[in-house]
Structure 1
Amino acid sequence: MAAAADYRAGTEDYRDYLRRLQPGDRLLLEPGDYRQGLPLSNLSGHAGQPIVIEAADSAAPPRFIARPRANTVSLVNVRHLVLRHLQLDGGNLPVDAVKAEGHSRYADFITLEHLFIHDHAASQQNVGISTKCPAFGWVVRNNRIERVGTGMYFGDADGSDPFVGGVIEGNRITHTLGYNLQIKHQKFRSSEYADRYDTVIRYNVFSKQDALPGPQARPNVLLGHVPLTGVGSEDRYLVYGNLFLHNPSEALLQVEGRVAVYDNVFINGSGDAIRIQPHNDVPRDMDIFSNTVLASGTGIQVRQAEGAAYRQRVVANVVAAVTPLRGGEAAHNLTLDYQPDWLDVAVAELTPRLLASQPSRRLPDGLVRELAAYPGWQGASRPGANVAPALLRTLDAAQP
């Protein structure tokens, strides 16, 4: 096996290096404006030896400028690939910034880090990061995405092309026409991925604070169900430590399937915070706990399909809303009246402010032990007490 190599390239010659990249190689891109896109096809690194394409100087990231009729970063049949410290400027052309293309057979173990994606907002259909083929083991970390049609869109509208075992963390997604993040429902899963996988969504900022109501209104985040039977049917989404901010006409989070939602902060001065409801199927077993919610509409709403046998537990949340809780198996929650003045409180101070006037209420030891099995949750003596540290990690991780 040839030794891994480092290559340096600039705006004129960088495409000459793309097909020669082997496991462990790095392509270091000099500062400048790159106008011919980044088409990556039939490239495979190895576990522990990915192919890396990144800025030669992280303080001066190369700027890829969108071109008509071509997605800027195009992924086709690639594995173990890392892209980091790049700027993707859409110029509001009707293209995507990063796309695993629909004619690709796979795009596995892709890591996207420290990308600045902006101005892909010709329509809601233009996406910052999108997959339209089976995608396994993605890590999408510490990216800034703003002024786009949709921030991230994983999967396909018909439930094909599953997104499996991903980690989405430390991103800041703002100023989207539609979703900040959508992961589509999954109809089936290849036997190649027969184990159970969690997709982790943590320490992100999802904001539609300046969005306008209208036909393009969407929740900040929408999570569809995993396969209903067979391979993948036991998979879960773990959603924790995130900050959800404002939406003019939809909820901040809408989910179905198998989900755990905990240690998040939800702030919506224009409506609802969390909606658990049928979309392409029904809500299945899920836990919603240790969140802080401030909403001018409904704080946490659970709509279960009639006759369904699944459990949706709503436990140990702090909810200040016009209608704090509706539906679900609720226990040990602290509910308060909605106070619009609290919208102006510093986010990291919100949970302590809500708890300040309330007597301490210890959770049952058995419940604490059960919830402590979830990653990132270390137990709490009273509802919501673990939210503030998680939020501080979110704000630190999401700094541009």
Structure 2
Amino acid sequence: MIKPLVALIGTILLANMAAGSTAYTATPDTYVALLRELAPGDQLTLSPGIYERGLPIHNLNGTVHAPIVVTGPDGTLPALLLAHTGRNTVSIVNSSHVTVRNLTLDGAGLPVDGVKCEGHAQWAHHITLANLDIRGHGNNQQTVGISTKCPAWGWVIRENRIVGAGTGIYLGNSDGNAPFIGGLIEHNVILDTIGYNLQIKHQNQRPELPGMPQERSVTTIRDNVFSKEQGASNGPMARPNVLVGHFPLVGPGSNDIYLVHGNFFYQNPGESLFQGEGNIALYNNLFVNHAGDAIRIQPHNDTPRTISVFYNTIVAFINGIVLLKREGDPEYSQFVAGNAVFGKPPLSVPERALSANLTNRYEVAGRYLNAPFAPLEKLDLYPRPGRLKNLPMETHTLHSYEGWDLGFNGESRKNSFAGAYAGEGRNPGWPLSKNRKP
């Protein structure tokens, strides 16, 4: 039996060599040296253990068909990257087509970021961060779970869990000169941050870098859980769960758009659940804030532009949906339609933008939804029979948005329901929780 096994192993190694890729397995003693050797198509697997020397993803460049992969083990024992003073744990500089996945990042309460695309980098594109467990990064509000501080495009941030960070995900720089372009942020769980669960910064004029998109790009934020039920700042330091800033005002990128759909926004004692400006489509989301506002579309560094807010279910102790613009701002296409909104007031939106919303006071949401005031383990925003159905709405302008015709559970919208769900009665889908949305 030994000879056939040897032959099989030889065949696998030859196949890897023919494909120009190599699979490495590392330990805490060997992984840094092996990182430097990675070439397109290579995979480095970190064995279970504690890794204390960071993960420098510096000048590692795979290709679209042969990315470089750095992964933890698939078993129950993790590869744990332990933070160190003065060094961001996963540090990314001038790298592309790299996947980092299946790792635990423990910040140990230090003032360092979990994943940082460093500010001295020139670029970082097509980076995938998947199934990272990021914890212990709550030293202060500026300590971040995942951060980009150089021009970044084509990123995928997927299935990560970030708990108790100062800021969960912060993409771009505060001066607008490190744009985050064409990203996909999906199926993450971000809980109990001091500041933002997620912020994407505004963008100044787009730089010209090799491979950077100059045509219209889409950044998609879908199927995430954003909760600030505990540990959030109050007063002047309070921040929304999610804030998205504007794209370049003119030139390449000025027509970019955020598609924000299928997310569960839960609780914020001092701020709104969502705030945005620029070009935004916000749809098929659930919003619950028993202390304050749900949605505020308003000027921040510029102004709301093309805005589409539709098919959301909103339960907010104060404002349901607010849409504001500065006096003298140009007119853009803006509409708020097909939402089920319970607030005080439900809507503060220009009349010209409104169409076919179902609205009522916050206190009566239970007449329409199964259990909108229950604790999370029993919270149920699914419509009661006969309460949110048959709300006629013009939909032809929605067809360019991915998944516009799918409810929060992914079900097809065969009937005219207000709000995020496309059904009524007993919820056949995901019970709301702080776990990953399937």
> TM exceeds 0.5?
yes
Q: Report what 1:81 is aligned to.
A: 98
**Pair 1:259-2:280 in alignment:** yes
Within the candidate set 295, 301, 305, 1:280 is matched to 301
Amino acid at match of 2:93: V
* Secondary structure of 2:196 counterpart: coil
Q: Would the alpha carbon gap of residues 77 and 394 (structure 1) be closer, same or farther in structure 2, given more than 3 Å must change?
A: farther
Which residues of structure 1 form unaligned runs of 5+?
none
Alpha-carbon offset, residue 392 of structure 1:
3.3
**Does the 8 A contact of 2:97 with 2:127 survive in 1?**
yes
**Does the 8 A contact of 1:302 with 1:312 survive in 2?**
no
**Does the 8 A contact of 1:301 with 1:325 survive in 2?**
yes
Q: How many percent identity over aligned positions?
A: 47
Distance (Å, rounded) in 2 between the aligned partners of 1:276 and 1:126: 26
Describe the superposition over 1:87-116 as per-residue Cα deviations: whole angstroms up to 9, x where unpaired: 000011000000000010111000000000
* Secondary structure of 1:301 counterpart: strand
Q: Note the 1:375-386 alignment, pairs <5 A.
A: 375-378=402-405, 379=413, 380-384=415-419, 386=421
Q: Report what 1:307 is aligned to.
A: 328
Q: Report what 1:71 is aligned to.
A: 88
Q: Would the alpha carbon gap of residues 285 and 62 (structure 1) be closer, same or farther in structure 2, given more than 3 Å must change?
A: same
* Secondary structure of 2:34 counterpart: helix
Within the candidate set 214, 235, 239, 1:214 is matched to 235
Which residues of structure 2 form unaligned runs of 5+?
1-17, 367-371, 406-412
**Does the 8 A contact of 2:346 with 2:359 survive in 1?**
yes
Amino acid at match of 1:349: D
Describe the superposition over 1:351-380 as per-residue Cα deviations: whole angstroms up to 9, x where unpaired: 313xx352632424xx22332331112245
* Secondary structure of 2:345 counterpart: strand
Amino acid at match of 1:373: S
* Secondary structure of 2:192 counterpart: strand
- TM-score w.r.t. the length of structure 1 is 0.94
Distance (Å, rounded) in 2 between the aligned partners of 1:154 and 1:130: 5
Within the candidate set 333, 344, 347, 2:374 is matched to 344
Amino acid at match of 1:352: P
Distance (Å, rounded) in 2 between the aligned partners of 1:320 and 1:230: 39
Higher-RCO chain (CA-CA 8 Å, sequence separation at least 6): 1
Higher strand share: 1
Amino acid at match of 2:61: S
Q: Would the alpha carbon gap of residues 195 and 39 (structure 1) be closer, same or farther in structure 2, given more than 3 Å must change?
A: same
Greater Cα radius of gyration, structure 1 or 2: 2
Distance (Å, rounded) in 1 between the aligned partners of 2:429 and 2:186: 13
Alpha-carbon offset, residue 48 of structure 1:
1.8
Describe the superposition over 1:27-58 as per-residue Cα deviations: whole angstroms up to 9, x where unpaired: 01100011111011111000021100001334
Number of residue equivalences: 396
Within the candidate set 182, 195, 203, 1:165 is matched to 182
**Pair 1:202-2:202 in alignment:** no
Q: Report what 2:312 is aligned to.
A: 291
Q: Report what 1:368 is aligned to.
A: 395
Alpha-carbon offset, residue 390 of structure 1:
11
**Pair 1:330-2:354 in alignment:** yes
Aligned residues: CA RMSD: 2.2
Distance (Å, rounded) in 2 between the aligned partners of 1:143 and 1:359: 34
Alpha-carbon offset, residue 382 of structure 1:
2.5
Deviates more, 1:151-160 or 1:323-332: 323-332
Q: Report what 1:398 is aligned to.
A: 436
Alpha-carbon offset, residue 9 of structure 1:
0.6
Distance (Å, rounded) in 2 between the aligned partners of 1:271 and 1:385: 20
**Does the 8 A contact of 1:242 with 1:391 survive in 2?**
no
**Does the 8 A contact of 1:170 with 1:397 survive in 2?**
no
Alpha-carbon offset, residue 349 of structure 1:
3.1
